[in-house]
Structure 1
Amino acid sequence: AMANPDPEITPEEAQSVRPDAIVATGRSDYPNQVNNVLGFPYLFRGALDIHARAINDEMKIACANALAELAREDVPDEVAMAYGRKLSFGRDYIIPTPFDPRLIHVIPPAVAKAGMDTGVARRPIIDMEGYAQSLKARMDPTASILQGIQSRARQAQAKMIFAEGDDERVLRAAVAYQRSGMGEALVVGREQDVKEKLETAGLGDAYRELRVVNAANSKHTETYKDFLYKRLQRQGVDREDAHKLATRDRHVFAALMLVHGHGDAMVTGATRKSAHVLELINKVIDAKPSDGAVGITALLNKGRVVLIGDTLVHEWPDENDLADIATAGAHVARGLGLEPRVAFCSFSTFGYPVSERATKMHVAPKVLDARGADFEYDGEMTVDVALNMDQMKNYPFCRLTGPANILVVPARHSASISVKLMQEMAGATVIGPILTGTSHAVQLCSTTSTVNDILNMAALASCKLCLKD
């Protein structure tokens, strides 16, 4: 029923006769829109990139098959939100939506391979995986950062503990983690709940792939309780309290799995506020300011990456804490393949206007001087000076050789405001807060995290970039 704007037969008419009919049209206001933009731009992309002599039937069929396979994959939240409804393979979703961002890196490689296999390629592509990654980067210049993290995760093959198995987003991320070859996903939750939520998400077949763990089916629960009691007995926790914490709180149980080596890394925080989750994790793992823990958030926007700290641990850091935050930020930056340049940010620049509130930002670089820090840093300065080289030229004595990519701000509230402002007003992609300086690989999501956000944090945790040296 492809006539536009009036199909030869509407879905309503067809389904009034056959309620189980599957109907596709060319219209965007009906499910299953068959639109030529699904195919032709990407078919030509693949053909042009191999300098094809012709576009043959095999290349067209490869395009169609790639579309069919993509329709069966889990749909990112960002795509579903754009269309205002949940999308999963079935009668109302048999073909990807026209503006699915995955099309550009799924179809051209399939078309290019078919052209190479049938001998019409003048310039064959040697590295197909690298070709697909380059296509992703064309769509989003910051994708190379995320792809680098996921590539390292595939090498690490970590057993990832997903602590919140009662949340559909977490389950979908766990399925994606395992199916994308990053490692084994361990889901903390009740078996029946996990099964029902996966079925609701259209991923019922994934239940057999995941390993579901809880206090009732774990043979290590008694060991966990003894460990927790010994750790907390001088903090007012008796055996009954330890029993309840270990068996009833999924964050604590997941952390106990981690410290006992029953998983390699852990991701949590999608269902509870970060501060609350961090408090629970601290009952098992040392992740306090005094332990060297720092929260660094990465903002990816318009091909630029900027790290902001501390967004999680330090409420009101002094100059020594600020130096620690800068060092943690430099460690994360290097882990992401960036050469760190730290700016200590304030409303004043290099001593003017004078304010007691800005003093610690002025002193923090001197702390790093005394420590002999091996990365670029300077301050205090306003954000525009830190990020804009034209503004920085007004201060020729500034030690930064380029725009800052790490911003150390005066307090956790200013860090949070900065991150959320960039996210809401500029549409920045947020990774974090990235928990650094801990002895075990734990990463926390936010309650607003999408499936991709959770997957990114799991990949980051598996790389173990942020562990204490």
Structure 2
Amino acid sequence: GRSDYPNQVNNVLCFPYIFRGALDCGATRITDEMKLACVTAIAELAEAEASDVVALAYEGQDLTFGPEYIIPKPFDPRLLAAIAPRVAQAAADSGVATRPITDMDAYRDKLGEMIYHTGFFMKPVFNKARANVRKVAYAEAGEPRVLRAVQAVVDEGIAQPVLIGDETAIARAVKQAGLRLQAGVDYTVIAAEADTTLQGTRLLKSGQVDALICGMTGSYDSHLEHVRNEIGVAPGAEVLAAMNALVLDKLTLFITDTYVNETPSAQELAAITRLAAEALQHFGLEPKAALLSHSSQGSSERPSARRMREARALLAEQSPELAVVGEIHGDAALSQEIRDIYGIDAGYTGSANLLVMPSLDAANILFNVLKVASGKGVTVGPILLGAAKSVHILSPSATVRRIVNMTALAAAQVV
């Protein structure tokens, strides 16, 4: 279907979602009640702010409610979760549903996972964040992505946003984006000083906020320096490190250290593995770690192979409860069949879910290649490991959904 004029009704706006709801409840036909339910759901989105996906796709256009923007754009991802449940409920109410949906909240969650591919494995994190809502500060509050993320954070009830910036400029940006945020109700503002990340770390250190999100502008290292100097390393953590998660078609992988330690020592690798394994538990996952190398089970005596081998020995001694294999080739870490051929006992079955790399270069390159080649850009992180307080340094390419996910994680990690 074509859309040649503003507010032109396009069949793609409703048909896919009517059919989704009808198929999921086993409707025998499409009734007038189901059509009306679809129209009602679309009408309720009319005055809602445009989603981040739509804002990016139609960059430069005014997407606030008015003569040029009355109905949602056809490819607004929110249409699925808004229309399909209404249609399914209407089918049940009008007696044509052969499989009525009894738990509509669970159905909405399932649809949400279709929209946001990180939804399923982020669910335990979101639940923990909602259970004890924390104050999360944002160092780059003037960024449109941050404000859209803050709207989602408020809507999903996962944190109390604290925006570091100019109150007037933030209010103007909120209005320009067509967001529903209200100062003093949905968020509080702390006037920005020269360096907002430095300011944020000091707010975190003093206990005025519970967690901090930064990194949408500038270099990772510049933000890390403030975290290192103001927040420091948690007792027993030994080291700071970064980890990224990739949601792939068949599995989710966590890769470390992607940003902090250039060539970690064996002791640092062991510490990073422990920190990463602990972080996986926030996602409800049992860590299955692999120390990756060009070497496998002593096949090389090069320095990087020896470091990975020594790290494995330290983990066996200091953290025997962890399921860790290494040093090992990447394919063997992910394949039970390959390990069986070589007689390698990993201490776990199936694929590893935590890949510990021998260097920052290796970790960062692997993550970015997989992100584009296999992950469809669906990532979580960077997750900062080992800090004394809950703080995460994102990247300038962070999407709205990634900011929301990291906000939930930051809130969930507060102790």
**TM-score when normalising by structure 2:** 0.89
How far off its partner does 1:450 sit? 1.4
Residue deviations 1:273-322 (CA, integer Å, cap 9, x gap):
22111111233211489744332111112142100111233222111111
Instruction: Work out whether 1:458 is the aligned partner of 2:404.
Output: no
Aligned with residue 372 of structure 1, among 319, 326, 347? 319
Match of 2:209 among 251, 259, 263: 263
In 1: Cα distance, 2:326 partner to 2:169 partner? 52
What is aligned with 1:409? Answer: 357
Q: 1:388–1:101: structure 2 CA closer, same or farther, 3 Å change rule?
A: farther
User: Distance between the aligned counterparts of 1:213 and 1:138, measured in 2?
Assistant: 34
The 2-side partners of 1:181 and 1:60 are apart by 31
2:25 aligned with 1:50, yes or no?
yes
Partner of 2:194: 248
Does residue 437 (structure 1) correspond to residue 412 (structure 2)? The answer is no
Equivalent residues of 1:165, 1:194 under 8 A apart: yes
Matched positions, count: 411
Aligned to 1:5: none
Equivalent-residue separation in structure 2 for 1:141 and 1:250 (angstroms): 31
Matched letter for residue 72 of structure 2: P
> 2: CA distance between counterparts of 1:259 and 1:44?
52
Task: Answer yes or no: is 1:108 the counterpart of 2:108.
Answer: no
Instruction: Pick one of 238, 241, 255 that aligns with 1:294.
Output: 241
CA deviation after TM superposition for structure 1 residue 153, in Å: 2.2
Structure 2 residue aligned with 1:8:
none
Code of the residue aligned with 2:253 in structure 1: it is V
- 1:283 corresponds to which of 229, 244, 247: 229
Task: Select 1:63's aligned residue among 35, 38, 45.
Answer: 38
Which whole-Å deviations, capped at 9, do the CAs of 1:351-381 have from their partners, x for residues lacking one? 2244233210122111111113312111112
Equivalent of residue 341 in structure 2, options 394, 408, 419: 394
Q: 1:348 to 1:329 in 2, by over 3 A?
A: same
Structure 1 residue ranges (4+ consecutive) displaced by more than 6 angstroms after TM superposition: none
Q: Deviations over 1:224-268 (max 9, x none)?
A: xxxxxxxxxxxxxxxxxxxxxxx4321122222223332222211
Deviations 1:91-138 (A, max 9, x none): 443333333333322211122233445555454433222111122334
TM-align CA RMSD: 2.6
The 5 A counterparts of 1:62-461 are: 62-82=37-57, 88-90=63-65, 91-118=67-94, 120-138=96-114, 142-203=118-179, 206-207=182-183, 209-215=185-191, 247-287=193-233, 291-399=238-346, 400-426=348-374, 427-461=376-410
Distance in 2 between the 1:27 and 1:103 partners? 18
| Contact 2:162–2:190 (8 Å) recurs in 1 | no
Q: TM-score, normalised by structure 1?
A: 0.80
| Aligned partners of 1:187 and 1:213 also within 8 Å | yes
Q: Percent identity?
A: 37
2:368 is matched by which residue type in structure 1? K
Against the structure 1 CA distance between its residues 304 and 113, is the aligned structure 2 distance closer, same or farther, given a 3 Å change threshold? same
Q: Secondary structure at the match of 1:424?
A: helix
Per-residue deviation, residues 328-371 of structure 1 (Å, max 9, x unmatched)? 12112222122211111112222224423321012211111111
- Name the structure, 1 or 2, with higher relative contact order (CA <8 Å, separation 6+): 2
Matching residue's letter, 1:442: V
- Structure 1 unpaired stretches of 5+: 1-25, 217-246
